[in-house]
Structure 1
Amino acid sequence: MFAPIMPKTGQRSLSPAGIILTVIAIALATLGQPVLGQQGHSPATHSATPATGAVNSNAEDWVMAAIRPELQESVRAAMPANLPVYEMSATLEPQAETGDVPTLTGHLKLTYVNTTDAPLDSLPFRLYANGPDDENDAQIVSDVTVDGGAVDVTLSVSDSVLDVLFNQPLDVGDLVVIDMEFASFLPIDSVDHYGIFGYGSTSGTWALAHWYPVIAGRDPSGGWMLEHPSRNGDAIFSDTALYDVTIHSEQGWELATTGIEFGETDAAGPGMVERRFASGPVRDFTIVADQDFEVATADVNGITVNSWFNPGQDRVGEAVLEYAIQSLEFFDDLLAPYPFRELDLMPVDMQGAAGSEFPGLIYMGLDYYTGNTDLATPNSLDFTVAHEVVHQWFYGLVGNNQYADAFIDEGITNYLSAQVYFEEVYGDDEAERIMNVHIRSPFERIIDGDGDVVVDTPTDEFDSGRDYVFAAYTKAPLGFEAIRLEIGDDAFFGALRDYVDEFSFLVAEPADLLAAFEASSGQDLQSLWDEWFNETNGRDALD
């Protein structure tokens, strides 16, 4: 995510409670009894099917469809074995029967292999949309089965954790198929989670991050991440999976998604169309939908870059396309080839953030498009686009637990987009200006005023959202700059390429990034790393 602005105060912008309850009641009639805590069901057993190669090979017809043809062999070789497969069918319901809350109803079929190191008694899913509001759920689930048999489930952590309980332990290497119905109710003009999930009443845009139940992310050291959805940083932490998604919508709707459209658009009843999308190996699957989007498109080394915008916003939409082309070309060469065939940039009415990253899809703050945005060089829009493009590598390809270690993707991304991108595209003087505006001056101002913080701190353990922003987006980039100056460009960028190569589609930790810098440079960098990321010696950097 791009450096968040402090969240706006005010009431959460859900539709009135009566409307929410009306729509939920209608959805329940369609879905059946929702999960409202532990439910009793007839016992069922899952098949103890050895799964070596079973999941990925079953998806042969679509799993590589979203990958650049020349990279398919290398991507397949780099993919972890037995990735989860999400097969989903969902319908966009702009007017959910008698209510007016935009709603998405769907079915999830998950093929899952236990790739952990121990048998599992249950599998935790995250319902991230339920995190912001302890009183009203934005997401409900029903009719959960494992291998066709009903099972018990539980809800916890403000109904943001759904545990699917197995009737017998799932052994390491064994496979199960989990089915469930779900409904997601879009908050209107929401300020929660920076507005990444909701309906924007001004633009008529559906922003559909975390719109479906997703397996909880698994930290390499800490295991399943089951904390309350983050209030300061990115809400979503999930592992790489494969997605085969079919969306039903009214005719005339434009959909931009993770991955690519796979196959033909088909009629699906009066006034409705059906479209199928395939993702390749990605960390989540995001959709943006609107009835009147326009698009500017370009080809970059075989990658289709789409800059979407509302009518009358072509000036900024075309600038976004230009900046995306520049940054994608640069980082495709500097770090590693971007493996996917498409990248979409979307105007979304975000709250407290200038942009947000998802696999193959980027949210750009709607304010850029509706205001008198300065397009002189250098400018903040260019910086934001570059920042979100770099996230396609750091978060997209190389994952990390943003709840625990947000600085290793946000910090390196902010440094690469402010300093490295601008010095390459516009020269040293322009890079210095952007670094001063977005990183050095805020660092000096906060150090002089509020003091220092430890960068490597869990996101929601900072005393304030401002401290989190300072640590991840301001101090951390200067720490990575210090490492670059210490070891030189060859070792610095060589380390980043090695890091991407080793941890693509996996979850890395801070020690892994430090090890890459040390291996590439042949130097012991622990003291320098601690100075910037584990200590509060920022004042020394100004002296």
Structure 2
Amino acid sequence: MTFASRPSSARMSLQVQTGALLGALLFAPFAGLAQTPPAPHRPVMPGILDAIQPDERDIVTDSVPPDLSTYTISAELMTDGASAAAPEIRGSLRLGWTNTTGETLDALPFRLYANGPDREHDAITIAGATVDGEPVEPTLTVDNSILTVPFAEPLERGEDSIVELSFVSVLPVDSSSHYGIFGFDSEEGSLAMAQWYPIVAGRDPDDGWMLDPPSENGDPVFSDTALYDVSVRIEERFELVTTGVEQRDPGAATDGRVTRRFLSGPVRDFTMVADDDLGLRTRDVEGITINSWFPTGQERVGDAVATYTAQALTIFEELLGPYPYTELDIVSVPLNGAAGVEFPQLIYIGQGYYDAGQTLQTPNALDFTVAHEVIHEWFYALVGNNQYDHAFIDEGLTNFLSAQVYFERQYDEAVAARVVDRYLVDPFDSTVRRGDDQIVDQPTDDFPTGNSYVYAAYVKAPLGFRAIQAEIGDTAFFAALRAYVSEFQFRVATPDDLLDAFEEASGEDLGELWRHWFEAAEGERDLQD
């Protein structure tokens, strides 16, 4: 994510409906949706690697953790006032899940991330739940953002289970919450659908399930890699931009609606945007299709976004390792308090950039934002980290690489110096001189203010990685990042894993340098004269 300013936040409520409603809706398909038939075993997903470049499929298959979770989701997007007071996603989800925690489990926690920031709307309603075909009664906790689904019998290590949920997600209308990543903008007619379905809670390698309230300051979604097979019934007039690749032509419309199916390959979540007024520019980078979606009439900016994305992808494939997917979509979304937000194979860019007066002179903020979000396709999309506790890993790396390395490699050192001064050095100096220096490596919502978090993750942390690069040199620095990506892609890494990668590549003890930049508030030692 790249920030503009911190939005306000509140919480949503959620209700688990039982009785007659559960009996009526439990896994019954909505009108026109393909029904998911019962199955005693894990779902099989033919074509699940279609989203992976052919040359990368063997590497990806060898890299993914064993027993990946599989999500099979059928959903229908309802947008007309006759069917819903606000746009709704009505869906059924089947999860094939293997207990790889190393512990015997009595229940499985799902995150309902949309049920955190907004008191004015009920975001996700669970209509029913079964485990291995038997109805169960889930419970809600932590501001209604955690749905705990019990197993009929304890699930031992290595055992499989099928969990099915029926749900309705209501998109907030013209809400300032969620950074705009989940909601309907009535003026633009854009539906942003991140965090729209129940997802298994992410697991920290050291601390286990992450069950904190949805983050107020940072990225709200922390999850593990899984495979997705998603079918969406939607009005034919909409463009639907998603994670994954579409499997076939949706065919003829029925009552103005079509069903579209997408397979993701291994990803951390599945995100969508629907809009009926989008233009498209494409680029090809070594077999990767870049799709730049923009408001009709903004071809100039849409074309620039496609170009910037291609530039960043080319540079960082060389420096960090392959982007393994066949597509990368970048779409204009009316965001609140963020300039861009990253998702697997999909990037939101704030609609404020798409303006006839937008400057495209080098350097410019749009180029910087696009580069930042593209690098997130490695850090956090490929290599995960617990951004609730250690957000600086992905945000600090991406902001350093986008501010200095991208502009240096694509343009020249003088341009990069201007960007680094603007986004890193100048705000660092002014913050430290005010006496507001922060310890970087602390939980996202433990910072005294949202601005303090932004400073730590997006200003000070990048300068810390810049100091490491200066200490060990380019060769060791990028060798470390390539090794880190290779070892931890599709998994969740810790700060120690990243430090170990730098020390192994360089042969140096970097403990004191790491402590100074990330674990202490000693910024006065680094002030410019």
Task: Please confirm whether the aligned pair reaches a TM-score higher than 0.5, indicating the same fold.
Answer: yes
The corresponding residue for 1:90 is 75
**Per-residue deviation, 1:494:** 0.4
Tell me the amino acid that sits aligned with residue 500 of structure 1: V
For 1:87 and 1:81, how far apart are their aligned partners in 2? 18
**Does the alignment pair 1:277 with 2:262?**
yes
Q: Structure 1, residues 447-470: CA drift from partner, whole Å, max 9, x if none? A: 111421100010000000000000
Map of 2:305 onto structure 1: 320
Give the drift of 1:435: 0.5
1:268 to partner: Cα distance: 5.9
CA distance in 2, matches of 1:502, 1:384: 27
The question of 1:217 aligning with 2:195 is answered: no
Question: Given the alignment of the two structures, is residue 456 of structure 1 paired with residue 469 of structure 2, yes or no?
Answer: no
Counterpart for residue 41 of structure 1: none
CA distance in 1, matches of 2:159, 2:317: 37
Amino acid at match of 1:336: G
Contact 2:427 2:459 in 1 (8 A): yes
Matches within 5 A, 1:56-135: 58-59=44-45, 61-95=46-80, 97-134=82-119
* Cα shift readout 1:12-63 (whole Å, capped 9, x = no counterpart): 799xx9xx99xx99xx9698589xxxxxxxxxxx99x9x9xx66xx33x222
Residues 397-436 of structure 1 aligned to structure 2 (within 5 Å): 397-436=382-421
User: Cα distance, 1:97 vs. partner?
Assistant: 3.1
Corresponding position: 1:2 with 2:6: no
| Aligned equivalent of 1:142 | 127
Q: In structure 1, list runs of 5 or more residues that go unmatched.
A: 35-45
Asked whether the equivalents of residues 95 and 103 of structure 1 are also in contact (C-alpha less than 8 Å), the reply is no
**Letter paired with 1:3:** F
- Sort the Cα spacing of 1:162 and 1:316 in 2 relative to 1 into closer, same or farther, 3 A: same
Q: Indicate which of 478, 481, 493 corresponds to 2:466.
A: 481
Say if 1:13 and 1:191, in contact at 8 Å, map to a contact too: no
Corresponding residue number in structure 1 for 2:146: 161
What code does the residue aligned with 1:229 have?
P
Q: Which amino acid aligns with 1:357?
A: E
Name the amino acid aligned to 1:329. Answer: T
Instruction: Kindly indicate whether the alpha-carbon contact (under 8 Å) linking 1:294 and 1:311 is maintained by their aligned counterparts in 2.
Output: yes
1:250-269 aligned at under 5 Å gives the runs 250-267=235-252, 269=254
Matched, 1:393 2:367: no
Q: Among 266, 274, 288, which residue is 1:303 paired with?
A: 288
Contact 2:11-2:119 at 8 Å conserved across structures: no
CA distance in structure 1 between the aligned counterparts of 2:391 and 2:252, rounded to whole angstroms: 43
* Structure 1 length-normalised TM: 0.91
CA 1:457–1:114 in structure 2 vs 1: closer, same or farther (change >3 Å)? same
> What is the percent sequence identity of the aligned residues?
51
Are 1:199 and 2:184 an aligned pair? yes
User: In the alignment, is the contact (CA less than 8 A) between 1:134 and 1:158 conserved in 2?
Assistant: no
Q: Distance in 2 between matches of 1:72 and 1:86?
A: 20
- Match of 1:438? 423
Native 8 Å contact 2:139 2:148 kept in 1 = yes
Instruction: Name the structure 2 match of 1:362.
Output: 347
In structure 2, which of residues 220, 229, 232 is the aligned counterpart of residue 247 of structure 1? 232
TM-score normalized by the length of structure 2: 0.94
Give the match's secondary structure for 1:128.
coil
Kindly indicate whether the alpha-carbon contact (under 8 Å) linking 1:12 and 1:190 is maintained by their aligned counterparts in 2. no
Are the aligned partners of 2:113 and 2:214 in contact in 1 as well (CA < 8 Å)?
Answer: yes
Distance (Å, rounded) in 1 between the aligned partners of 2:330 and 2:61: 26
| TM-aligned CA deviation for residue 254 of structure 1 | 0.4
* Equivalent residue letter for 2:251: D
**CA 1:12–1:222 in structure 2 vs 1: closer, same or farther (change >3 Å)?**
closer
| Contact 1:137/1:159 (<8 A) preserved | no
Any residues of structure 2 matched to 1:453-532 within 5 Å, and which? 453-532=438-517
Q: CA deviation at 1:192?
A: 1.5
**Structure 1 residue 251: deviation in Å?**
1.2
Amino acid at match of 2:397: I
Aligned positions, number: 515
Paired amino acid for 1:305: I
Structure 2 residues not aligned, in runs of 5+:
27-37
